[in-house]
Amino acid sequence: MEINGSVYNSGNISQRNVDAEGQTSVLSSNLFLDHVGEVTLTLNSDGLSWKSLYSLDNDGSTCLGIKFLPRVATKMATKLTFSDIYAVEIIDSDVIQESDLTLAAECFVGNGSHDSGMNHFMVHTFQKSKSQPCLWSLAVYKFGNKDLQTCQMWVNKINDSLSKEVGRPKNLLVFVHPMSGKGNGRRIWEAVAPIFSCAKINTKVIVTQRAGHAFDVMTSATNEELNSYDGVLAVGGDGFFNEILNGFLSSRHKAPFPPIPSDFLDALGNNSNPLVNDPNEADSEIHNNIESDPLLSSSAHNESGFSHLRTNDGSHIEDQQIENPLPNQRLRFGIIPAGSTDAIVICTTGARDPITSALHIILGKKLCLDVAQVVRWKTTSTSKIEPCVRYAASFAGYGFYGDVITESEKYRWMGPKRYDYAGTKVFLKHRSYEAEVGYLEVESEKDSSILDGSRMLSRVRSLKRKKSERNICQANCDVCNTKPVYSSIRSPPAISSPEARWLKSKGRFLSVGAAIMSNRNERAPDGLVADAHLSDGFLHLLLIKDCPHALYLWHLTQLARKGGNPLNFDFVEHHKTPAFTFTSIGKESIWNLDGELFQAHKLSAQVFRGLICLFASGPEV
């Protein structure tokens, strides 16, 4: 034994402590690994590694001249990083299986088994699908040793290393929508809940009882109460996440309303643009428009156990100030997919899989997400309940998209198939709506000159890029991680500067859409805009002008085809912008915000770059 050199041996265990130069300690033991046999397990600064003590080239690996290889062992990893391990635990004694190699070698020799009196510990991790790297599945490595203290020592050492992993949640608030998608929300949560328990994550679970339940809980929760959690999870679809997001932001997000052109204000009968969002106004509108908004409820009951945010007269409690400015990177949001489309999950993890999403959350992945603020303005100068503010994380759509979501509400009993049925009915009706859309052009440093009409047309066409030129958003995205060359909407100088210009498009539109992300889903494998990014501070404004039935069908067919070019049509306008306005003229449709209905005759919208953080790492492309 050598103390100063920090190396000592005890049986089959060796350990080296931190030396004078600060090198990380190393622990090594001979253990039995399930399906492999005896291995030398080593712990170092970044994870675990092991090496089998059996040689595949010796005579003992053959039987009757046939060489037996450990089939499972050859497919297993020989190293695990702590960033990929989410739990380790001692388990009750049972039989640990030797490798195929050991069994083959002993087929005539008759050596005794090592199973007797074995103690075990399990290391929980995950593995990626070879064909779909975004799809993660659970994996476990079971190690054994006859000495219980040796197993306990390994568990303690690994837990010490896991406790140093940054960003992993310990306490989560979970909302479960029992009727999402095919009505499997509760079952899906029950399937993934044991993974959170194994990782020693405390969860407070609220199964929603009505529309707007989650919104009311998030709105009434104080900052102090929310700060006791590391994140908020939604077990449901995009619409359910939208409800939670709006409940969180409606009472906490203090920011200017979207910029609007001067004539837009004149049409409203106002003399000035409000500077700060007053959540009391939006809250008043919400509770006076219950029947027309299926998302929100005016229930005064506090079913969450949280204290109310406001007093009975509607005033704010004095100590309920904005303690944590947005974005709050500690309080993250997570989604366990249980909806009909789950576009947000597909865009942020790459897979529509509850296990994959649960692992992203447990391992503390972090991804910033743009959020659009959508404001419904008063339609008359005497209106007192406007403007009304809502938020969207994936998409805002009018016309075809709004009609489909409205029609589908009649057929909820059909489950996800209702969207196909409703979409077919709406397509056959081929309704168009007259409207005026304004969008803000923000010049980059590379092109600060004012564009004339021909250059603008050229720029629009340049957005219709081929598949090979698409810059797809993915894990560690360079676009999302790069500071923009202009200020974001949250820093208004670029928008209010003289160089900023409002451009307009007026006519009859089959649909008007604003994509905040690509919106990939099973019906549109590349999404509405294939190269839209999760956190670049842009909306992708899609204006589909009235056109013949056949051409519109061609456009929809391109959306449904992987590698298609749905934007490459003369009747399609695609504008990349941080803000836009909309005014309906004549017969109206309804807006679809992340799958939720929102009726608005006149609205404006802007994007806030990286306003919230998700438990996700982005898709692997």
- Is residue 344's pLDDT more than 70? yes
Other CB atoms within a 10 A radius of the CB of residue 389 amount to: 23
Give the pLDDT score at 449.
Answer: 37
Q: How confident is the model at residue 301 (pLDDT cuts 50, 70, 90)?
A: very low
- What's the rounded Cα separation, in Å, for the pair 130 and 116? 37
Lowest mean pLDDT among 122-131, 361-370, 378-387: 378-387
Concatenating the DSSP letter of every residue in 85-148 gives --EEEEE---PPPPPHHHHHHTTTT-PPPS-TT-EEEEEEEEEE-SS-TT-EEEEEEEEEES-H
Would you say 156 and 43 are in contact if contact means Cβ atoms under 8 Å apart? no
Q: Which residue has the tokens 């399990």?
A: 122
What's the pTM? Answer: 0.81
- What's the rounded Cα separation, in Å, for the pair 380 and 269? 7
User: Phi, psi (5° rounding) for residue 409?
Assistant: -60, -25
Mean pLDDT, all residues of the chain: 78
The verdict on residue 390 lying in a domain is: yes
Strand 171-176 with 202-207, pairing: parallel
Give the pLDDT score at 114.
Answer: 52
Q: What is the pLDDT of residues 546-562, one digit of tens each?
A: 999 999 999 999 999 99
Question: Which carries the bigger pLDDT value, residue 558 or residue 75?
Answer: 558
Bridge partners of residue 121, in order along the sequence? 90, 143
- The stretch 233-259 carries a mean pLDDT of 93
Last residue of a domain, one of 107, 141, 165: 165
Residue 235 DSSP class: E
- The stretch 85-101 carries a mean pLDDT of 67
Hey, what amino acid is at 566? P
- Is residue 96's pLDDT more than 90? no
CA atoms within 13 A on the CB side of 173: 21
The verdict on residue 16 lying in a domain is: no
Q: In CATH, what number is assigned to the domain containing residue 530?
A: 2.60.200.40
498 CB contacts (<8 Å, ≥6 apart)?
none
Q: Which domain holds residue 500?
A: 370-443+473-609
CA atoms within 13 A on the CB side of 27: 15
Check whether the bond before 525 is cis (ω within 30° of 0): no
- Is residue 81's pLDDT more than 90? yes
* 3-class DSSP assignment, residue 44: coil
Give the pLDDT score at 542.
Answer: 97
- Is residue 298's pLDDT more than 70? no
Q: Which of 502, 489, 398, 490 is nearest to 450 (CA)?
A: 502
The verdict on residue 4 lying in a domain is: no
Residue 601 DSSP class: S
Last residue of a domain, one of 106, 140, 165: 165
Hey, what amino acid is at 465? R
The set of catalytic residues is 238
- Is residue 210's pLDDT more than 50? yes
- Is residue 376's pLDDT more than 80? yes
Q: What is the pLDDT of residues 566-615, one digit of tens each?
A: 999 999 999 999 999 999 998 999 999 998 899 999 999 999 999 999 99
Lowest mean pLDDT among 92-106, 233-247, 306-320, 508-522: 306-320
Concatenating the DSSP letter of every residue in 475-504 gives TT-HHHHSPPSS--TTSTHHHHSTT-EEEE
Concatenating the DSSP letter of every residue in 375-437 gives EEPPSSTT-SS--EEEEESSEEEEEHHHHHHHHHGGGGGGTTHHHHHHHHHHHHHT--EEEEE
Give the pLDDT score at 470.
Answer: 72
Give the pLDDT score at 102.
Answer: 41
How far, in Å, are 35, 53, 70, 105 from residue 99 at the CA level? 4, 11, 6, 10
Q: Which of 399, 398, 420 is nearest to 408 (CA)?
A: 420
Question: Which carries the bigger pLDDT value, residue 185 or residue 495?
Answer: 185
Q: In CATH, what number is assigned to the domain containing residue 134?
A: 2.30.29.30
- The stretch 615-620 carries a mean pLDDT of 92
In angstroms, how far is the first alpha carbon of the chain from the final one? 51
Give the pLDDT score at 292.
Answer: 38
- The stretch 29-35 carries a mean pLDDT of 91
Lowest mean pLDDT among 79-83, 412-416, 501-505: 412-416
Question: Which carries the bigger pLDDT value, residue 313 or residue 385?
Answer: 385
Check whether the bond before 70 is cis (ω within 30° of 0): no
Would you say 550 and 430 are in contact if contact means Cβ atoms under 8 Å apart? no
Task: Categorise residue 399: left if φ over 0, alpha if ψ from -120 to 50, beta otherwise.
Answer: left
How far, in Å, are 19, 538, 579, 608 from residue 442 at the CA level? 56, 10, 10, 15
User: Phi, psi (5° rounding) for residue 326?
Assistant: -85, 150
- The stretch 30-39 carries a mean pLDDT of 91
Q: Which of 576, 601, 598 is nearest to 587 (CA)?
A: 601
Please state, for a pLDDT cut of 90, what percent of the chain lies above it: 53
The verdict on residue 290 lying in a domain is: no
Task: Categorise residue 27: left if φ over 0, alpha if ψ from -120 to 50, beta otherwise.
Answer: beta
- Is residue 383's pLDDT more than 80? no
Lowest mean pLDDT among 211-225, 247-261, 410-424, 476-490: 476-490
The verdict on residue 565 lying in a domain is: yes
The verdict on residue 59 lying in a domain is: no
- The stretch 332-351 carries a mean pLDDT of 94
Last residue of a domain, one of 100, 133, 165: 165
Question: Which carries the bigger pLDDT value, residue 390 or residue 463?
Answer: 390
325 CB contacts (<8 Å, ≥6 apart)?
none
Q: Which of 154, 157, 160 is nearest to 30 (CA)?
A: 154
404: tokens are 């489909």
Would you say 516 and 393 are in contact if contact means Cβ atoms under 8 Å apart? yes
- Is residue 299's pLDDT more than 70? no
The verdict on residue 130 lying in a domain is: yes
Question: Which carries the bigger pLDDT value, residue 312 or residue 378?
Answer: 378
Give the pLDDT score at 330.
Answer: 76
Hey, what amino acid is at 588? E
The verdict on residue 202 lying in a domain is: no
Q: What is the pLDDT of residues 488-539, one digit of tens each?
A: 444 443 444 444 689 999 999 999 999 999 999 988 999 999 999 999 999 9
Lowest mean pLDDT among 77-81, 346-350, 560-564: 77-81
Q: What is the 3-state secondary structure (H, E, C) of 161-186?
A: HHCCCCCCCCEEEEEECCCCCCCCHH
Structural domains of the chain, count: 2
Give the pLDDT score at 97.
Answer: 44
Hey, what amino acid is at 517? M
